[in-house]
Amino acid sequence: MDAMVARQMLPALEELKDYVSIPNDAVNPEDIQENVQWAEKAFAKRGFQTSVLKNARLPLFLAEMSFPKASKTVMFYFHLDGQPVRADEWQQEDPFRMVLREKGADGAYEDINWNLLQSTINDEWRVFGRSSSDDKGPIIMLLQALDMLQSERQSPPFNIKVVLDPEEEKGSPGLKETLEKHKDRFQADYLIVMDGPMHASNIPTLTLGCRGSVGFTLATYGPITPQHSGHYGNYAPNPGFLLAKVIASMKDEQGRVLVDGFYNGIAFDEEALKVMAAVPDNKEEINARLVIAEEEKVGNNYQESLQYPSLNIRGMQSAVVGKGAATIVPDEAVALLDIRLVPETEAKRMVSLVDSHIQKQGYTVLNHAPTTEERLRYPQIVFMQSSGGTPAFRTDVNAPISVWLRKALANSYKKEPVVIRMMGGTVPVVSFVQALDVPAVLVPLVNVDNNQHSPDENLRLGNLRMGMKTCLSILTSPI
Ligand SMILES: [Zn+2]
């Protein structure tokens, strides 16, 4: 397999260079149109039947191919749009004209001639360009793996569907409508999401889920307008102290949330504990990178800590700090918080647990800004308002899709992949997973230091090689 993948490197790089050359910020529908047309050609060339599914936003690309001996269907999800670029922040002239670079003695990447690829391909070289990693690189990896399979006159043991989301970087606003309108077109047994970076160890990675999130605002109140801290200090209550007390009551010294029922329903079986402990995270390295003396004690290790809901303060504000600061008792203090959700903790319930917690401390919780009458009546008002939230998803470690993919990777790499039970972040694809109600696993393929969403986005050639091998392993693994 390795020799075949090696021979495919140059065609893969040429095809990626070609795809990257089409700008893909979804604010420009004409650009997305061009990206879709490119995909139509690329997938049709490989024998796929392609469709462009319209919705009120930008069209969704769907490619389908059936194989006579296949009974199951696997759907692959990618996105073809990219983050906006500001060309002057990049070290290359045009972020859509992919360049080849090698790391110099000083650690900086320097341009090398593209034609060098004709004779050698060094895994440590990188190609730089928008979407080289996020998410066009992975699309090319799958296409090239299909080419290898076809050149061997083999076919995958399952039918394939490929979805290319045109607006992932904008939060996939049209996805839900397209799904509802064309539900039958998205029938599949398994969903594989190829997006995002691999584990920092760069060992082949499977991510079985991701946390959701819900945000809420808390506000407390002092005098109706800011007052002189000399004339009213010791008399007018300061909303900053009240907000600080409310928030401080929610966590203990070790970072564990004290809200009743916050961690209810979360339990790990032996297998889950084993999977989490096996992830090669290095606590010392993580803490040194974050420059923190000690981590919070919610889980026994980094992975475990991500399996619980988290309570986070996004920001706090009261009067002015820095330029413009004044000797006043402020009128208001506001904090924006969020809860990262797990499948056991539904957004609404979690927000209401926090609400009850605040009430139990003796405060008056209102879901609207207080009226003058309310301010006169209740000494300690907390305003609380939440947004709807995005749910979490997690596929069981022992679910058939998880076992199948673990086997596929273990067989071709001769070692177990890193299995992330659930990653900490939230990705727009959750709505897709939820709407389809299909077992899903994320198979990230690109290097962790790819500068995703930033200038100088890049793909390490070793990751292109590994990504094609991973795709080929999946395409040839009995299902
Ligand atoms: Zn992405």
CB 401 within 8 Å of CB 190: yes
Kindly give the distance from the C-alpha atom of residue 26 to the centroid of ligand 1, in angstroms, as a whole number: 13
Distance 169 CA to ligand 1 centre (A): 7
Q: How far is the CA of 147 from the centre of ligand 1 (A)?
A: 24
Rounded CA-CA distance 382/334 in Å is 10
Q: Rounded to the nearest whole angstrom, what is the distance from the C-alpha of residue 471 to the centroid of ligand 1? A: 17
Q: How far apart are the CA of 78 and the centre of ligand 1, in A?
A: 8
Rounded to whole angstroms, the Cα distance separating 3 from 338 reads 48
Low-confidence residues of the chain: pLDDT under 50:
none
Q: Ligand 1 centroid vs 453 CA: distance in angstroms? A: 8
- At 200, list the tokens: 């920092």
Tell me the CA–centroid distance for residue 173 and ligand 1, in Å.
15
Structure tokens at 97: 């004209």
Distance of CA 92 from the midpoint of ligand 1 (Å): 22
Rg of the chain taking only CA atoms, in angstroms: 26
Q: Are 205 and 415 in contact (CB under 8 A)?
A: no
Secondary structure (DSSP) of 255-291: S-B-STTTTTT----HHHHHHHHHS---HHHHHHHHT
CA nearest 211: which of 266, 167, 278? 266
Is residue 78 within 8 Å of 135, Cβ to Cβ? Answer: yes
User: Rounded to the nearest whole angstrom, what is the distance from the C-alpha of residue 428 to the centroid of ligand 1?
Assistant: 9
Q: How far is the CA of 136 from the centre of ligand 1 (A)?
A: 9
Tell me the pLDDT of the chain averaged across its residues. 96
Taking the centre of ligand 1 as the mean of its atom positions, its distance from the CA of residue 69, in whole angstroms, is: 33
Dist. CA 194 → ligand 1 center (Å)? 8
Q: How many Å lie between the centroid of ligand 1 and the Cα of residue 449?
A: 14
Cα of 452 vs centre of ligand 1, distance in Å, is: 8
- Dist. CA 425 → ligand 1 center (Å): 12
Whole-number Å distance, alpha carbon 261 to ligand 1 midpoint, is 34
Residue 264: CB atoms within 10 A of its CB come to: 12
- DSSP letters, 288-304, are HHHT-S---SSSSSHHH
Q: Residue 35 C-alpha to ligand 1 middle, in angstroms?
A: 15
Q: Hunting for tokens 């040429």 — which residue is that?
A: 14
Judge contact between 52 and 40, C-beta under 8 A: yes
Query: 210 CA to middle of ligand 1, Å?
Result: 14
Alpha-carbon distance 27 to 53, whole Å?
19
Angle between helices 2-20 and 136-151 (to 10 degrees): 140
Residues with Cβ within 8 Å of 65's Cβ and at least 6 positions away in sequence, in order, are 46, 47, 48, 49, 159, 160
Closest CA to 43 of 188, 208, 164, 158: 164
Compute, in angstroms, the gap from residue 168 CA to the centroid of ligand 1. Answer: 7
Looking at the DSSP bridge assignments, the partners of residue 79 are 165
- pLDDT for res 429: 85
Nearest 5°: the CA angle 433, 389, 350 is 110
| Å from CA of 427 to ligand 1 middle | 9
**Angle at CA of residue 402, ends 399 and 407, nearest 5°:** 125
Query: And the tokens for 299?
Result: 């889980």
The answer to whether the CB of 98 falls within 8 A of the CB of 127 is yes
Q: Do 407 and 159 touch, CB atoms closer than 8 A?
A: no
Distance 133 CA to ligand 1 centre (A): 8
Query: 222 with 238: CB under 8 angstroms?
Result: yes
8 A C-beta contact, residue 185 and residue 177:
no
Closest CA to 343 of 392, 411, 283: 392
The alpha carbon of 207 and the centre of ligand 1 are apart by a number of angstroms equal to 14
What CA–CA distance (Å, rounded) separates 438 from 454? 32
Backbone angles phi, psi at 379, to 5 degrees: -70, -30
Token pair of 447 as six digits: 């290097």
Cα 195 to averaged position of ligand 1 atoms, centre (Å)? 5
Tell me the CA–centroid distance for residue 135 and ligand 1, in Å. Answer: 5
Please give the distance, rounded to the nearest whole angstrom, from the Cα atom of residue 106 to the centre of ligand 1. Answer: 30
